[in-house]
Structure 1
């Protein structure tokens, strides 16, 4: 049985994994949230001079706020 929060590549025949990142012709980058937020349940992202907060809820959903 697989974990429902586990990232699954779109086409196993055309994918590879290195350092926890899936790469394929379909999805160039898939990064697991738990790998990004190693020390908690949120990360801060800077994009074009703006800060965004990406956090995981208790229900396992992600919320992005400005």
Structure 2
């Protein structure tokens, strides 16, 4: 997996005057975890009939388990 060489732009939720800058500067496949897990610290992902749990630890790390 490759990541953009430039830092992520500010979160539009943190800046009401973003005016769509976020969608123009970053590839649409990059999604912040906090946007996926809006109401908690985990999400469940279905992939090819299998369920995976992606959760954030207290230290801010992500763990993916079957």
TM-score normalised per structure 2? 0.64
Structure 2: where are the runs of 5+ without partners? 8-20
Structure 1: where are the runs of 5+ without partners? 1-7
What SS does structure 2 have at the residue aligned with 1:40?
Answer: coil
Distance 1:41 1:22 in 2: 24
Distance 1:42 1:53 in 2: 7
In proportion to residue count, which structure has more strand? 1
Structure 1 runs (4+) deviating above 3 angstroms are none
TM-score normalised per structure 1? 0.64
